[in-house]
A and B are shown apart, each in its own frame.
Chain A
Amino acid sequence: MRILLVEDHPPLAEAVMDALHRAGFVVDHARSLADATTMTATADYALVLLDLGLPDGDGLRLLPKLRRKNKVPVIVLTARDQIADRLAGLDGGADDYVVKPVEMSELVARCRAVLRRPGERSESVIEIGSLRLDTVSRGVTANGEQVRLSRRELAVLELLMRSAGRVVSRRLLEESVYGFEDEVSPNALEAAVSRLRKALDAVDGRAAIVTVRGVGWMLARKDEA
């Protein structure tokens, strides 16, 4: 997994690169828009981490080029936290928008989540705690033990694992788990999540499904709590 970090602040670039190295990524560093443009043209990156305030211009200007050329996923990493900035970043084609300062564990998780997205350079296996989901064979194991899940439960689990540590809204789950033709009874999703939770509890996958009433669900590692 080769990542390009576009960041003009040397100590921050160095520290973030270290952290990403430890998480198992290979990281290249660009200090300016010009550097980043050359590097993305010559090398093939799985992900670009993009700072916005660069010495030779706004990082947002790089977004359309990256999206047009080789559909590299982009996470904007910036100190700008206004909603308008976030919208500009996401509307401009960024896959995620992270406001500095950010904990490295969260940044790594977000990088993984973006890399796992279907249609992008997905990994075929997602691991959270001792829980392991193979997106190709559609098999789930916990501590190496097979977990038997229905198609829908599996779909819910996949989505939760892809954004582990963050809340997945009920609307998003409904939209991705059920097709447009499906007749969705109001409690179908609750029932699926409940069955999934039971199955996970039974095997102690060191991951828990947390209900955020009124919003959605979140997959959290138990050791974090």
Chain B
Amino acid sequence: MIKSQPTLTHILTRRLVWLAFGAVIVNVLAVGIYYGTDERALESEVIELQMERLSESLEGSPPRVSNSGRALFVAYPDAYGFALLDREGQIVDIQNQDLIPRQVSMTDVFVKDWVTSLETEQGRVLAAAHRVETRPDQLRIVFVMADDPARLMWRALIAEFVSHIWLPVLPIVLILIGANALMIRQGLQPLATAADWARSIRPGRPSPDLPDDPLPAEVQALVAATQRSLERVNAALAAEQRHAAEAAHALRTPVAVLMARLDALPPGEMKDRLRDDLNALSRTIRQVLACARADVLDWDDDHAIDLLPVAERVVATTAPLAYERGLEICFSGPPTPVLALADEDAVEVALLNLVENAIFHGGQGPVEVSVGPGPEIRIRDHGPGLPAGGKRRIFEPFWRAEHAPPGGTGLGLAIVERLQNAQSGAIDVRAPDDGGAEFILRYRPAPAP
């Protein structure tokens, strides 16, 4: 049993997901390294964010920063501070005045935005000013950061991630994965079609018709290569079977000569023995021929035959043999035809093998051949039954029971099985409670007309 492998669609989609994941990681690293090595850039991000927040929380006239906007500065009086300056540089609103260097108000009024880093007695202080464009009063906001207990820098970094990675990259990644999965699925459809085609290949048969839709070049190449090797295998198979058939066929004439010459011998035990040997040889030849034909059964899938006349003919043909061996043979079947999708020659050869087996190994009791009611033929004998543990082995080529009478080839049941397989039929065997063996040839039922 082959372990079932994931589908190609599955594999490709999974790789695509990994690829997208990798792309995100690279992006994160790139952004992290960029801001990690360039503190300036991060600081200006922090300033920009704070300016935005402060200008959004302006209210009243003269303008003031609302309580919610002020919360951060109230919470950390030693770290952050702000001031609002009017056009003349007068302070309109201020929070944590101690932090804000005096030089701030001295800065040129006409400088719109500036950022600076000052060394004070408290240490390094970051200071920035921004003129609020949206206001007619040219209000300027001054922001000062002496320390960063609220982790504004971190927040800015995270905000960077969000704005540079999650928002632009993730949707694109998701869309790409979805679209690719869909495209892979559709792109691999021709492969599935080709697989269906390959599944319909049967040994010894001409390659099945190709799907109607034109296949892509790569798949077409695979299919064409398969077709070519199939043709080569078929040719080799046909040649091998032809050789077997020719060999068996060629043997028939010398055996026929022997049989004719045997007639000249005076009656006696030796003649009878030779006759039995020749008959066994003749049966072997017939079986080898049947074997060669079994795999290349030339039969029409839709051809329905009536099993009754075939079975009746085989019983009539084998009745003299049964009589010679002191065995009764009988036949039964329903009065109406029993139709099956099968090949008449194949049914005949299979049944002939089973009936001859039953006559040779069937002990004293009658050999009963019955047809129906379904598309099946039963052959029941009253011999020693199946060998212990041999229920499966009896179908192996050249297998013979330990005490089987001489003359058999061990091919009969193997041939029957091959014939049945070639017709999508089956062969079953069971051991009835009252002894003997029953073989059942099953065929496909013919569809109702």
Contacts and interface: CB of A to CB of B under 8 A. Distances in A.
6 contacts: A16-B260, A83-B345, A101-B259, A103-B259, A103-B275, A213-B331
Nearest to A224: B324
A118 interface: no
A165 interface: yes
A101 to B, nearest CB: 4
B419 to A, nearest CB: 14
Nearest to A169: B316
Contacts of B255: 100-101
B323 interface: yes
Interface of A: 9, 11-12, 15-16, 18-19, 22, 79, 81-84, 100-105, 165-167, 169, 210, 212-216, 218, 220, 224-225
B203 to A, nearest CB: 21
Interface centre among B256, B286, B333 (most CB of A within 10 A): B256
B260 A212 contact: no
Nearest to A165: B320
B61 interface: no
A22 B320 contact: no
B261 interface: yes
Contact of A19 (B264, B326, B329): B264
Contact of B333 (A101, A169, A210, A214): A214
Contact of A215 (B254, B257, B264, B331): B331
B256 A105 contact: no
B261 A15 contact: yes
A100 B286 CA distance: 10
Contacts of A103: 259, 263, 275, 279
Contacts of B289: 81
Interface residues of B, number: 39
Interface in B230-262: 249, 252-262
Contacts of B256: 12, 79, 100-102
A124 to B, nearest CB: 26
Contacts of B275: 103
Contacts of B312: 169, 214-215
B319 interface: yes
B330 to A, nearest CB: 3
Interface in B132-191: none
A79 B252 contact: yes
A18 B264 contact: yes
B348 A83 contact: yes
B329 A212 contact: yes
Nearest to B330: A213
The interface centre, meaning the residue of A83, A214, A220 with most chain B CB atoms within 10 A of its CB, is: A214
A215 B286 contact: no
Contact of A79 (B249, B315, B331): B249
Contact of A82 (B257, B259, B345): B345
B344 interface: yes
Interface string B324-337: 10101111110000
Contacts of B316: 166-167, 169, 212, 215-216
A218 B319 contact: yes
A50 to B, nearest CB: 14
B104 interface: no
A79 B253 contact: yes
A210 B326 contact: no
Contact of A22 (B263, B317, B326, B329): B263
A214 B323 CA distance: 15
A214 B260 CA distance: 34
B282 interface: yes
A83 B332 CA distance: 23
A16 B263 CA distance: 9
Interface string B98-131: 0000000000000000000000000000000000
A214 B330 contact: yes
B252 A100 contact: yes
A12 B316 CA distance: 28
B323 A104 contact: no
Contacts of A15: 257, 260-261, 263-264
Contacts of A79: 249, 252-253, 256
A207 to B, nearest CB: 12
Nearest 7 Cβ contacts at the A-B interface: A213-B330, A15-B260, A214-B331, A101-B256, A104-B263, A167-B316, A100-B256
B359 to A, nearest CB: 13
> Which of B258, B261, B319, B369 is most buried by chain A, counting CB atoms within 10 A of its CB?
B319
A212 B319 contact: yes
Interface in B262-291: 262-264, 275, 278-279, 282, 286, 289
Nearest to A210: B323
Q: Which of A12, A19, A102, A104 has the most B CB atoms < 10 Å from its CB?
A: A12
Given A83-B345, A166-B320, A212 B259 contact: no
Contact of A100 (B253, B264, B331): B253
Given A84-B345, A210-B323, A224-B324, 15 more contacts: A15-B257, A15-B260, A15-B261, A16-B260, A18-B263, A19-B264, A81-B286, A83-B345, A101-B255, A101-B256, A101-B258, A165-B320, A167-B320, A212-B316, A214-B332
Contacts of A105: 263
A9 B261 CA distance: 14
Contacts of A213: 328, 330-332
